[in-house]
Amino acid sequence: MGDARILVVGSTMIDLIAYADRLPEAGETLVGKRFQMGFGGKGANQAVMAARFGAPVAMVNAVGDDSYGASHLENFKREGIDITWMRTVPGSSGVAPIWVDGAGVNRIIIVPGANDATEAAVAEAAVREFKPTIVVGQFEVPQATTLAAFRAARAAGITTLLNPAPAAPIDPELLAHADWVAPNETEFTAIFGGSAIGPDGDERIRSASDRSGNRLVVTLGEQGAALAIPGEPIHRISAPRVKAVDTTGAGDSFLGAFSFGLASGLSPDRAAELAVACASASVQKAGTQSSYLSRDEAAALAAPYLAGGTR
Ligand code: RIB
């Protein structure tokens, strides 16, 4: 497994998921089929998936002093995630009301609550003290906090991976401190302009990587992912055909697996192949973290990749 140590500077949410064949129009009330409540938040999801591969993982975040906050800390302990740099602050923990339609497609509103109190100084301390091999961030805690962590990581020669989700204007300094940027199609357009899909998608991804100097891994749902390294041709990783039940958190399972793969010394291609396989498994089950591969399943998936080494 090498020296993989993964630090996630990111969010926690309680996901409140309603499933219905179709979603309501404005002013309409619909009868749903099912409801599921569970642990979510893009940061937490990515941390949990990475931890299930067996790597040491630590989390930097703030939860509220409510029952949701306490249950997040318990969940992280159960998952073997280091919570030294988790803080509890007065107020509400983050929540995410989610709708999932009959095709498994979701719509999400996040209410960040305590996530907004995730502090830059704590993130810097975590980089210094946990000594990760990769630092992973998203957009559900303040960008200034993620930037502080990325600056500390850069200064120490540690790889940084930014998942710019949900789509929002990006601080150019943060982009400049990201070795890897991992947007989906919507986030790619928000940051780099133009579409990552369609006949010219590859060219636009390649040009975005050349212009920005970032390594890109663009997640493309059922079309898999595209990898762009400045100065190199695009690599496409296709996804197996599967029946999607719920796509919630699939991108996060990709990121958890990808960061584990990179931190374990896999080539970017092999890390992305592992990540596509991991995300494909997650869309076939309902819920967010509840849809992720178990520790045993993750170990079985990763074994051939780790045995093959880098290439
Ligand atoms: O990416 C899925 C996640 O987005 C959900 O768990 C929800 O909490 C939001 O953060």
- CA 155, CA 153: separation in Å to the nearest integer? 5
Q: What 3-state DSSP class applies to 41?
A: coil
Eight-state DSSP code of residue 140: S
Name beta bridge partners: 218: 226
Per-residue pLDDT reduced to its tens digit, 23-40: 999 999 999 999 999 999
Ligand 1 centroid distance, CA of 36 (Å): 14
Ligand 1 centroid distance, CA of 291 (Å): 13
Task: Give the distance between the most distant pair of CA atoms in the chain.
Answer: 55
Give CA separation, 75 vs 118, 193, 223, 303, in Å: 18, 38, 32, 26
- Nearest Cα residue to atom 1 of ligand 1: 249
- Nearest Cα residue to atom 8 of ligand 1: 41
Annotation marks residue 252 as catalytic: yes
Tell me whether residue 147 is exposed, middle or buried, using C-beta atoms within 10 angstroms of its C-beta: 0 to 12, 13 to 18, 19 or more.
buried
* Superfamily of domain 6-23+34-306 in the CATH hierarchy: Ribokinase (3.40.1190.20)
Is 309 a residue whose pLDDT tops 80? Answer: no
Mean predicted lDDT score pLDDT of the chain = 96
Per-residue pLDDT reduced to its tens digit, 143-202: 999 999 999 999 999 999 999 999 999 999 999 999 999 999 999 999 999 999 988 999
Per-residue pLDDT reduced to its tens digit, 294-306: 999 999 999 999 9
- CA 307, CA 235: separation in Å to the nearest integer? 22
Per-residue pLDDT reduced to its tens digit, 273-284: 999 999 999 999
Per-residue pLDDT reduced to its tens digit, 82-98: 999 999 999 999 999 99
Residues with CB under 6 A from ligand 1: 11, 13, 15, 40-42, 45, 96, 108, 110, 140, 248-249, 251-252, 288
Is 310 a residue whose pLDDT tops 50? Answer: no
Which of the residues 15, 82, 246, 252 is marked catalytic?
252
Ligand 1 centroid distance, CA of 42 (Å): 5
